[in-house]
A = this chain, B = another copy of it.
Amino acid sequence: MRAAVMYGAGDVRVENRPDPKIVRAADAVVRVVAACVCGSDLWPYRSMPAVDTGRPMGHEFLGVVEETGADVTGLNAGDLVVAPFTYSDNTCDYCAKGLHTSCRNGGRYGFDGVDGGQGEAVRVPYADGTLVKLPVAADSALLPSLLALSDVMTTGHHGAVTAGVGRGDTVLVVGDGAVGLCAVIAARRLGAERIVLAGRHEARTGLGREFGATDVVPERGEEGIARIRELTGGGADKVIEAVGTRQSLDTALGAVRDGGTISRLGFPQYEEGPIGPAPFRRNITLTGGVSPARAYIGQLLPDVLDGTITPGRVFDRAFPLHQAPDAYRAMADREVLKALVTP
Q: Given A102-B258, A272-B275 in contact, is the A285-B162 Cβ separation under 8 Å?
A: yes
Interface stretch among A29-37, A128-136, A276-284?
A276-284
Query: In chain A between 245 and 279, which residues have their CB closer than 8 angstroms to a CB of chain B?
Result: 258-259, 264, 267-268, 270-277, 279
When the two chains form the complex, which single residue of B94, B274, B283, B292 contacts A272, counting CB atoms closer than 8 Å? B274
When the two chains form the complex, which single residue of B234, B267, B285 contacts A280, counting CB atoms closer than 8 Å? B267
Q: Given A94-B258, A99-B259 in contact, is the A276-B285 Cβ separation under 8 Å?
A: no
Tell me if A232 is interfacial: C-beta within 8 Å of chain B: no
Rounded to whole Å, the gap between the CB of A23 and the closest CB of chain B is: 25
**A162, closest chain B residue (CB):** B285
CA of A267 to CA of B281, assembled, Å: 9
Query: Which B residues are in CB contact (< 8 Å) with A273?
Result: 272-273, 275-276
Give the copy number.
2
Q: Is the CB of A276 within 8 A of B280?
A: no
Tell me if A286 is interfacial: C-beta within 8 Å of chain B: yes
Q: Is the CB of A286 within 8 A of B290?
A: no
**A263, closest chain B residue (CB):** B285
When the two chains form the complex, which single residue of B97, B102, B283, B290 contacts A290, counting CB atoms closer than 8 Å? B283
Tell me if A199 is interfacial: C-beta within 8 Å of chain B: no
Size bracket of the A interface: 20 to 34
Tell me if A91 is interfacial: C-beta within 8 Å of chain B: no
**A262, closest chain B residue (CB):** B286
CA of A267 to CA of B102, assembled, Å: 30
Tell me if A118 is interfacial: C-beta within 8 Å of chain B: no
Query: Which B residues are in CB contact (< 8 Å) with A274?
Result: 271-272
**A279, closest chain B residue (CB):** B289
Query: Which B residues are in CB contact (< 8 Å) with A308?
Result: none
Query: Which B residues are in CB contact (< 8 Å) with A102?
Result: 258-259, 282-283
**A158, closest chain B residue (CB):** B283
Q: Given A258-B94, A259-B97, A259-B102 in contact, is the A285-B287 Cβ separation under 8 Å?
A: yes
Query: Which B residues are in CB contact (< 8 Å) with A282?
Result: 102, 289
CA of A101 to CA of B94, assembled, Å: 36
Tell me if A288 is interfacial: C-beta within 8 Å of chain B: yes
Interface centre among A99, A268, A276, A280 (most CB of B within 10 A): A280
Query: Which B residues are in CB contact (< 8 Å) with A270?
Result: 275-276
Beta-carbon contacts of A84-103 to B below 8 Å, as 1s and 0s? 00000000011001010110
CA of A162 to CA of B273, assembled, Å: 21
**A272, closest chain B residue (CB):** B272
**A261, closest chain B residue (CB):** B287
CA of A285 to CA of B280, assembled, Å: 14
Q: Is the CB of A288 within 8 A of B277?
A: no
7 residue pairs, one from A and one from B, having the closest CB atoms: A283-B289, A271-B276, A102-B258, A285-B287, A273-B275, A272-B272, A99-B259
A contact set with B: CB distance below 8 Å? 93-94, 97, 99, 101-102, 162, 234, 258-259, 264, 267-268, 270-277, 279-290, 292
Sample 10 A-B pairs with CB under 8 A, ordered by A number.
A94-B258, A99-B258, A162-B283, A162-B285, A267-B280, A272-B274, A282-B289, A283-B288, A284-B289, A286-B286
